[in-house]
Structure 1
Amino acid sequence: MRIELGGAFADLLNEKGKGSGGNEMAYVERSLGFRTHDLDDRDLRLVTDIVGGTIRWRRYLDYLICSLFHDESMFRSMEPLLLQILRIGCYEIVKLDMPPYAVVDENVRLAKVALRHGAGNMVNAILRKLVSLKDRNSLPLPNMEGNDRAQARALATIYSHPVWMVRRWIKYLGQERAIRLMVWNNSDPSFSLRANCAKGITRADLVTQLNVLKVPHEVSLHLDDFVRVKTGLQAVIQAGFLKEGLCSVQDESAGLVVSVVDPQPGENIVDCCAAPGGKTLYMASHLKGQGMVYAIDINKGRLRILNETAKRQNVDGVITTIHNDLRAFVDKKLLKSDKVLLDAPCSGLGVLSKRADLRWNKRLEDLEQLKNLQDELLDAASILVKPGGVLVYSTCSIDPEENEERVQAFLLRHPDFSVDPVDKYVPADFVTEHGFYFSDPVENSLDGAFAARLVRGS
């Protein structure tokens, strides 16, 4: 309910890498009057899975619940807490394959304690009906027949995404690839760890530590400092790896954006929308103590976190934070840099596997506003690039209107810039026909990301 109504995150980890499970359990105590126990690692993983999965599959779960009611008006008027309990129960039965009797019993007790006796009876009836349908392999499914709109609506229900996203992906990718993308978004996310070379930690050192913790992992095929983990992130955090600055949680797709920037010792680099600072810190580690990364951001609190992390990772000597709106900052004409990175605010359509809540927080109208903002920020960022310097525009979106189209529109407005193909900086799998960097979630098994490297004429 906090995620859906209050903007909380779907993971029990905050951006400092600290567990927020204690805060959430305290909130449960305050709001529902339950006494809660401390969660061990296993329970913390299960809670995170249930919360994330229930949010991710919300549209499909609501379809199941509504089908079992046979009365849409009754479903629509259901109180929010009862609906959440039913969603959790449905998710556990249909997607987690937990023992049905335990799921029914637990959620009936929850409804009785959190609401009233009658609510428990309703949960009992609905979940038992669901178990019966699942046992007979006859769960309801939306009708795939009809025109393109009807098919998109059915697919949006089956794979639990907003209809506008599904229609957009079918338009750009075709139905088969759109389905593959939704399957990826609904799968358990994997995370990558970056060994912090600025503290003398190599990937081999990180692998040794992961072996000690018995955390399953595989080394990145694309970046020398990165290791991929599917499970065990909580163990890494509790062992203090992030707190001590030994490594960072960072997707390889973001690391490859830094490869496109290609930061070198002695350079002055501006990171235009820097916070929370993953790319800033990685670029700073490349400078080997020589040069400077100027991290500009409008959010003062997140810049403070960036400064704290920079100290832990031993790169604070080459990072200067600047609290400002980029568009206001460039008016002062105080800075010209070798390289400028604009990791622009975007829809985040490339990171939906990690951000279970994000798909429900975005609307089609948001894209139009974002495109205008991206254009404004690109124009502002270009002012900071010295003659012969480099401007890298990146997003964590897979939408061409936020990516290639923004670059093409920028080049029409700024003929003194031209595309520098990225094939010298990233593996060929990630290079588009126009010389841009693009990571495809389905093809590359990474978050979706885009970057264009643009050079200013001298």
Structure 2
Amino acid sequence: MKNIQKAYEIIYATQYQGAYASLLLKQVDDDYNVALITELVYGTIRNYRYVFATWRQFTETKLKQKVSALLDLGVYMLRFSDKPDYAIVNNIVEISKQIEKKRYTKLVNAVLNNCLKTDPLVLSDDQPSEMALKYSHPEWLVHLWIAHYGHERTLEILKYNLTRNTVTLRSNHHKISTDDLLKMDDRFSKGHLAPEEVYFDGNIFETEYFKKGLVSVQDAASQLVAHHVNANVDDTILDTCSAPGTKAIHIASLRHDKGKLDAVELHESRSHLIRNECARLGIESIRVFNHDARFLSDILDEEAYEKVLVDVPCTGLGVMRGKPEIKMHIKPEDIDSIVILQREIIDSSVKMVKDGGSLIYSTCTINKKENEQQIKYLLNTYPNFKLKFEETIFGYEHQSDSFYIAVLERIA
């Protein structure tokens, strides 16, 4: 029962205390069944609206947050796990005894048994309100996606976000080619979206391949960004919002650690992530600066870079399959706030591009306010830039995260 107890604690902290499930799961020690806890936590969070609606029909009043989180977990297990129903109910009821001296134990037992006697909710794929409930997304977000991408594509996004995430790797081109890496171990397999995309059947973090810096963790769609930067050895590169440094390091590895690359990161603690990963992968060509990307010209020369990567902070709507807690906390006003920050970073970044150079804009989100409309803003505000390439990568089409990438050229 201790694994279910731990899962419950993480779910509660994620739902009601603003914690990140991924960080809490990393803190679970080996005395627990980490795989089981991860499945229970992410499964419950992915289906948070559906499981809540399932048990809420059997309660007349709003319950304490701890009780609500516990019932969410219990209903998820009843509906989606293969554990015997009686064992699930017994475990959840036992945990409920810790809440306010067993005050809610009878209620929890009654609600779960009512759920067992009731057929699963029947919801359509036609109405946005039912789609939002069935696939556990905020209703306003479903409406936004339908407006931006249409009903059918939105439905595919919703379904995809309920699937389990996989660990995608990138071969470190500085140390080994993808083909040579694949030959080293039959457990490696080739991806299909990005040239360095590989997968490993097992725990890669315990292997010498990872410890010696032959591979990094990076989503396949994210890996495409470095290829759109398309840096030559002689190009001076700027990554304006760098941490944790995966894209900057990928660019450096493709150039075999030659040339100059400056990486800017606001937070000192996250700058250490870049430096540590550079050390593991054998990358020495990256200079790391702690600074606010809205004020780049305060520390760097303007018009000094052939390629400027602007991988702006975003709402992360394209990575919700791996970080489902995003959809629990995201609000419409969050998009409006981040758009302002993105434009301030754009305004700062355009000054750094040489005549004839390129600005590469990317996000791991899917909404046109943060993507296409930001490029429209850039082109309208800075007529000396021209759009050369633009693409939205939808994760469900490639088994990857969703990404947006645009390449603009500064006209001399």
* TM-score, with structure 1 as normaliser: 0.82
Report the counterpart of residue 31 of structure 2 in structure 1.
38
* Contact 1:53/1:356, CA 8 A, preserved across alignment: no
Report the counterpart of residue 150 of structure 2 in structure 1.
174
1:285-336 Cα offsets, whole Å, 9 max, x none, are 1121321211101111001111011011000x10100000122222455251
Structure 2 residue corresponding to 1:97, chosen from 55, 78, 82: 82
> Take 1:282 and 1:321, find their aligned partners in 2: how far apart are those partners?
15
% same residue? 29
Q: 383-392 or 397-406: which moved more?
A: 397-406
Report the counterpart of residue 313 of structure 1 in structure 2.
281
Matches within 5 A, 1:13-412: 19-22=26-29, 38-39=31-32, 43-69=33-59, 71=60, 74=61, 76=62, 78-113=63-98, 115-133=100-118, 138-141=119-122, 151-200=127-176, 202-205=178-181, 208-209=184-185, 211=187, 218-228=189-199, 232=202, 235-239=203-207, 241-315=209-283, 317-335=284-302, 336-412=304-380
The amino acid that maps onto 1:449 is: F
* Contact 1:345/1:395, CA 8 A, preserved across alignment: yes
Report the counterpart of residue 429 of structure 1 in structure 2.
none
> Take 1:378 and 1:372, find their aligned partners in 2: how far apart are those partners?
10
Structure 2 residue corresponding to 1:454, chosen from 402, 408, 412: 408
Q: Which runs of 5+ in 2 are unaligned?
A: 1-11
The amino acid that maps onto 1:192 is: T
* Contact 1:270/1:339, CA 8 A, preserved across alignment: yes
Q: Which runs of 5+ in 1 are unaligned?
A: 23-36, 146-150, 212-216, 422-435
Alpha-carbon distance change, 388 to 7 in structure 1, aligned in 2, over 3 angstroms: same
Alpha-carbon distance change, 272 to 299 in structure 1, aligned in 2, over 3 angstroms: same
* Contact 1:67/1:140, CA 8 A, preserved across alignment: no
* Contact 2:173/2:256, CA 8 A, preserved across alignment: no
The amino acid that maps onto 2:80 is: K
Deviation, structure 1 residue 84? 1.5
Give the 3-state SS of the residue equivalent to 1:197 in structure 2.
coil
Alpha-carbon distance change, 8 to 210 in structure 1, aligned in 2, over 3 angstroms: farther
* Contact 1:269/1:292, CA 8 A, preserved across alignment: yes
* Contact 1:203/1:227, CA 8 A, preserved across alignment: no
Deviation, structure 1 residue 339? 0.5
* Contact 2:243/2:270, CA 8 A, preserved across alignment: yes
Deviation, structure 1 residue 82? 1.7
Q: State the number of aligned residues.
A: 400
Deviation, structure 1 residue 144? 8.4
Deviation, structure 1 residue 87? 0.9
The amino acid that maps onto 1:380 is: S
> Take 1:252 and 1:53, find their aligned partners in 2: how far apart are those partners?
23
Q: 360-369 or 192-201: which moved more?
A: 192-201
The amino acid that maps onto 1:246 is: L
Give the 3-state SS of the residue equivalent to 2:34 in structure 1.
helix
The amino acid that maps onto 1:455 is: E
> Take 1:97 and 1:453, find their aligned partners in 2: how far apart are those partners?
48
The amino acid that maps onto 2:317 is: L
* Contact 2:194/2:221, CA 8 A, preserved across alignment: no
Alpha-carbon distance change, 206 to 125 in structure 1, aligned in 2, over 3 angstroms: farther
The amino acid that maps onto 2:356 is: G
* Contact 2:182/2:190, CA 8 A, preserved across alignment: no
Deviation, structure 1 residue 142? 5.8
The amino acid that maps onto 1:274 is: S
> Take 1:443 and 1:192, find their aligned partners in 2: how far apart are those partners?
15
* Contact 1:378/1:410, CA 8 A, preserved across alignment: yes
Deviation, structure 1 residue 10? 1.9
1:41-92 Cα offsets, whole Å, 9 max, x none, are xx211101111111121111111111122x1xx2x2x122221111111011
> Take 1:333 and 1:238, find their aligned partners in 2: how far apart are those partners?
40
Q: 236-245 or 331-340: which moved more?
A: 236-245
Alpha-carbon distance change, 144 to 186 in structure 1, aligned in 2, over 3 angstroms: closer
Alpha-carbon distance change, 243 to 121 in structure 1, aligned in 2, over 3 angstroms: farther
> Take 2:362 and 2:121, find their aligned partners in 1: how far apart are those partners?
42
* TM-score, with structure 2 as normaliser: 0.90
